[in-house]
Every structure is written in structure tokens, then in C-alpha cells.
């Protein structure tokens, strides 16, 4: 339980601080998280998480990614989701999404931020419906649509986002630092369209990418007599991994990160640590127990197949 508490209360209070700060910045709503009083606010969120968990038996999820398609308009060499490796694509329908989000929302009291990701989420024809459904849920704080900036949002999407423009925003991955992508990027047009419709967006100036190494087909296995040494190494790698905070749902399974989601889907490994949402009914209290078991792990099965690198690379370099 010690590990669960450290991860759930410590990491998540910091994540809530960042999310609530963004919420205030974009929508002028929620707790104002002043930089000067950072520790005070983190403590406040820590107490909130603790009170809900210990006294009221409630879970708060700060952030969850929903991978809604594996299709994409780009083929990035270092894509952290390994999208160029797909030969057969997976596209989630609104019904698929509804089933998963219902299970999650019936088992948490707050989901502060949903990320719609992919592949390129704008390629999913049900995105508007998904947004409308999720944004109408009181437990959902904000919704972020992560796009590569190559597609102009259609009227239906603009309409759905506009309807909920107090909680939905776009994150445009800033690939303009890559000169090769210039002909494909429609960033300026997208920004003009969003601004005209009073839709918020975020685009980070200094966008950093890290090298992505191939996941290994053979797991970093522990010989029976050497398990602790190998496990210590993997635990350390997981602790330093920026993707470890990117919990995501893909194809009805909750995984620790996009590499876990896509690695399993691509048949590199079976993620025995994932939570299968189809095993749960939407009012199933078993989620909480499964989530605690999931969350308290030192690292996850996919980490055994993973190699991390901290080498900076050109964002979205194409294959
Ligand atoms: C997998 S993409 C999916 C959304 C969309 N296709 C896009 O590229 O924005 C989600 C986010 O992961 C980021 N990303 C992908 N590979 C990365 C890498 N190697 N290093 C840092 N960020 C990466 C992308 O820039 C994007 O913001
Ligand atoms: S990072 Fe590149 S390849 Fe990967 S999903 Fe985004 S745009 Fe597509
Ligand atoms: S599998 Fe583990 S080490 Fe690899 S990216 Fe995911 S969390 Fe990080």
C-alpha cells in the first residue's frame, strides 16, 4: 500500500496542481494555482485526494488518455505511439468510447482531464459525438484534443467544441520546428478558425521530442536467481520515464502508457497488468480494487520490453 499512496497521493496532487493551473489559465475557472504558493496548493490537493480516498472511498483520476484511432496523416520516426508500425488500423466507435468512459466515470468522483489522442484523433468520424458526450458529464473537468496540425477541424467538430467551449480545447503539437513538415501543416488556418469560434487552444513554443527506441520482442527477463537486480533496473527506468504518467484507455483496456497500449495491440507482448474494462459493469465496485492493484505496482509488464532514451530529436521527423 505504501507504493500506492506515494504514487496516488504524491504524483497526483502534483498533477492536479498542473491541471488546475491550466484550467484557470484557459477557462478562468477552478482553483487558482499560484506559482508562488505552489506547495500550499499541492498540499491542498493532497488532502483532497486523501480525504476522498480514506473517508469517502472515492477515486479521483487527474488525467486519462483515450486513444481513438491508429490512423494518422503523418509517419513520424520517433512516434511514442508507434503508429507507423500499424498495417491494420483500429478505429473506436462512439459506442466503444461510451462503454469505456461510462465504466470509468461510474467509478471515480472526478476525471480532471481527458486527452483525445491517436493516431490523429481528427480522423475519427465519431470524435464530435465523443466530445459532446464526455463534456456533458459533470465529473469531467477539461477535454484536450491533441492534433498534429495537418487537418482543419470540420464544421461538426467546431460545433461540438463550441458548445462546450468552457471545458474543451485543442492542443496543437508544434511541428513547425521541423522544416520538412512546412507544406503539410495548416497551423495558421486552424488557429484562425479556432479563434474565430472562440475556442481555446494551446501550442507550446519549445516543443521537445525524445528518441524512441524499438520495443524489444524479448522481455528483459529475470533469471530466477537474479530477479531483484533486473527488477531494480526496470523500476528505476519506470520512475524516470515521462510516459509513465500517461495512463490511457485503448480498445477497452486501461494501460500505464501509450507504449503499453500500442505494444500490446501490435502483438509485441501481452500486457498482463492492464485493466480490462469489459470485465467490469459500469456500476462495478470491483474497479476500485483493480485500480489499487494496478496503481501500486513498481513498474508494468510492458516496461520489461521497453528501452528509454533521453536523446533529443527533431519533432515529427518523417520515415
Ligand atoms: C502520439 S501523438 C497523437 C496526437 C497527434 N497525432 C499528434 O501528433 O499531435 C500525442 C502526443 O505525443 C507527442 N509525441 C509523440 N512522440 C513523441 C516523442 N518521441 N517525444 C515527445 N513527444 C512525442 C506528440 O507530439 C503529441 O503531442
Ligand atoms: S506523433 Fe506523428 S505518427 Fe504519431 S500519431 Fe502523432 S502525427 Fe501521427
Ligand atoms: S512501458 Fe514503462 S518504461 Fe516504457 S514508456 Fe511505458 S511506462 Fe515508460
Residues 261-271 have pLDDT tens digits of: 999 999 999 99
Count the domains in the chain.
2
Q: To test the ligand 2 pocket, which listed residue (67, 70, 83) has its Cβ within 8 A of the most ligand atoms?
A: 83
Q: What are phi and psi of 313, to 5 degrees?
A: -130, 165
Same domain, 142 and 20: no
Q: To test the ligand 2 pocket, which listed residue (70, 79, 122) has its Cβ within 8 A of the most ligand atoms?
A: 79
Same domain, 12 and 146: no
**Would you state the torsion angle of the CA atoms of residues 79, 199, 22, 24, taken in this order, to the nearest 10 degrees?**
-170
The ligand with the least distance to the CA atom of 245 is: 3
Q: How confident is the model at residue 218 (pLDDT cuts 50, 70, 90)?
A: confident
pLDDT at 220: 74
Q: How far is the CA of 123 from the centre of ligand 3 (A)?
A: 26
The atom of ligand 2 lying closest to the CA of 84 is 3
pLDDT mean across residues, the chain? 93
Same domain, 151 and 260: yes
Q: Which residue pairs, CB below 8 angstroms and at least 24 apart, start in 230-234?
A: 231/298, 231/299, 234/299, 234/303, 234/304
| Pairing assessment for the beta strands 312-313 and 275-276 based on DSSP bridges | unpaired
Q: Does some domain include residue 23?
A: yes
Same domain, 184 and 275: yes
Q: 0.85 cut: is pTM over it? A: yes
pLDDT at 285: 65
- Of residues 93, 81, 116, 104, the one with CA closest to residue 259: 81
Q: Does the pLDDT value for residue 228 go beyond 90?
A: no
Which structural domain range is residue 122 located in?
A: 60-313
**Is the CB–ligand 3 distance for residue 261 below 6 Å?**
no
- Of residues 226, 300, 198, the one with CA closest to residue 257: 300
- Of residues 260, 245, 273, 301, the one with CA closest to residue 8: 245
**Is the CB–ligand 2 distance for residue 119 below 6 Å?**
yes
The atom of ligand 2 lying closest to the CA of 118 is 5
> Which of 58, 79, 102 is a domain's end point?
58
Which whole number is the average pLDDT over 195-220?
A: 92
Q: Which three cell numbers stand for residue 154?
A: 470540420
**Is the CB–ligand 2 distance for residue 316 below 6 Å?**
yes
Q: How far is the CA of 45 from the centre of ligand 2 (A)?
A: 33
pLDDT tens digits, one per residue of 303-319:
999 999 999 999 999 99
pLDDT at 286: 85
Q: To test the ligand 1 pocket, which listed residue (86, 89, 146, 242) has its Cβ within 8 A of the most ligand atoms?
A: 146
- Of residues 171, 256, 248, the one with CA closest to residue 207: 171
Collapse the DSSP code of 60 into the 3-class scheme (helix H, G, I; strand E, B; otherwise coil) and give the result.
Answer: strand
Which whole number is the average pLDDT over 6-10?
A: 91
Q: Does some domain include residue 318?
A: no
Q: Does the pLDDT value for residue 225 go beyond 60?
A: no
Q: How far is the CA of 193 from the centre of ligand 3 (A)?
A: 36
Q: Does some domain include residue 319?
A: no
Same domain, 192 and 308: yes
Q: Does the pLDDT value for residue 221 go beyond 70?
A: no
75, 319 in Cβ contact below 8 A?
A: yes
Same domain, 23 and 54: yes
151, 101 in Cβ contact below 8 A?
A: no
Q: How confident is the model at residue 230 (pLDDT cuts 50, 70, 90)?
A: confident
Which whole number is the average pLDDT over 60-87?
A: 98
pLDDT tens digits, one per residue of 118-162:
999 999 999 999 999 999 999 999 999 999 999 999 999 999 999
Q: Does some domain include residue 27?
A: yes
Q: How confident is the model at residue 17 (pLDDT cuts 50, 70, 90)?
A: very high
Same domain, 72 and 200: yes
CATH of the domain at 96: 3.20.20
Same domain, 305 and 201: yes
Same domain, 14 and 103: no
Q: pLDDT > 70: what percent of the chain? A: 94
> Which of 58, 84, 101 is a domain's end point?
58
pLDDT tens digits, one per residue of 270-279:
999 999 998 7
> Which of 37, 58, 79 is a domain's end point?
58
Round to whole Å and give the CA distance between 131 and 136. 8
Same domain, 94 and 5: no
Q: Does some domain include residue 250?
A: yes
Closest residue by CA, ligand 3 atom 2: 303
DSSP 104: H
Round to whole Å and give the CA distance between 175 and 301. 32
**Is the CB–ligand 2 distance for residue 82 below 6 Å?**
no
DSSP 179: G
pLDDT at 196: 98
Round to whole Å and give the CA distance between 249 and 255. 6
Q: How far is the CA of 214 from the centre of ligand 2 (A)?
A: 15
pLDDT tens digits, one per residue of 94-119:
999 999 999 999 999 999 999 999 99
Same domain, 94 and 242: yes
Q: pLDDT > 90: what percent of the chain? A: 83
**Is the CB–ligand 3 distance for residue 122 below 6 Å?**
no
Amino acid at each position: 500500500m505504501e507504493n500506492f499512496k506515494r504514487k496516488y497521493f504524491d504524483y497526483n496532487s502534483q498533477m492536479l496542481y498542473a491541471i488546475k493551473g491550466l484550467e484557470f489559465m484557459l477557462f478562468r475557472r477552478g482553483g487558482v494555482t499560484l506559482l508562488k504558493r505552489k506547495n500550499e496548493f499541492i498540499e491542498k490537493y493532497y488532502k483532497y485526494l486523501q480525504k476522498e480516498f480514506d473517508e469517502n472511498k472515492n477515486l479521483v483520476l487527474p488525467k486519462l488518455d483515450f486513444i481513438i484511432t491508429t490512423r494518422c496523416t503523418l509517419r513520424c520516426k520517433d512516434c511514442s505511439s508507434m503508429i507507423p508500425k500499424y498495417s491494420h488500423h483500429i478505429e473506436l466507435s462512439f459506442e466503444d468510447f461510451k462503454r469505456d468512459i461510462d465504466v470509468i466515470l461510474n467509478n471515480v468522483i472526478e476525471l480532471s482531464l481527458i486527452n483525445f489522442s491517436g493516431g490523429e484523433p481528427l480522423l475519427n468520424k465519431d470524435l464530435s459525438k465523443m466530445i459532446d458526450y464526455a463534456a456533458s458529464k459533470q465529473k469531467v473537468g477539461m477535454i484536450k484534443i491533441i492534433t498534429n496540425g495537418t487537418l482543419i477541424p470540420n464544421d461538426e467538430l467546431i460545433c461540438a467544441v463550441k458548445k462546450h467551449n468552457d471545458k474543451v480545447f485543442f492542443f496543437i503539437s508544434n511541428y513547425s520546428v521541423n522544416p520538412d513538415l512546412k507544406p503539410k501543416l495548416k497551423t495558421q488556418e486552424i488557429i484562425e478558425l479556432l479563434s474565430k469560434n472562440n475556442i481555446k487552444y494551446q501550442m507550446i513554443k519549445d516543443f521537445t521530442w525524445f528518441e524512441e527506441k524499438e520495443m524489444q520482442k524479448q522481455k528483459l527477463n529475470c533469471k530466477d536467481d537474479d530477479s531483484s537486480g533486473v527488477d531494480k533496473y526496470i523500476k528505476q527506468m519506470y520512475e524516470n520515464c515521462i510516459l509513465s504518467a500517461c495512463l490511457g484507455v485503448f480498445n477497452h483496456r486501461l494501460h500505464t502508457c501509450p507504449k503499453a497500449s500500442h505494444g500490446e495491440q501490435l502483438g509485441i507482448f501481452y500486457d498482463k497488468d492492464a485493466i480490462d474494462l469489459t470485465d467490469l459493469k459500469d456500476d462495478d465496485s470491483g474497479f476500485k480494487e483493480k485500480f489499487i492493484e494496478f496503481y501500486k505496482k513498481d513498474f508494468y509488464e510492458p516496461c520489461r520490453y521497453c528501452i528509454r532514451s533521453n536523446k533529443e530529436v527533431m519533432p515529427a521527423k518523417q520515415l
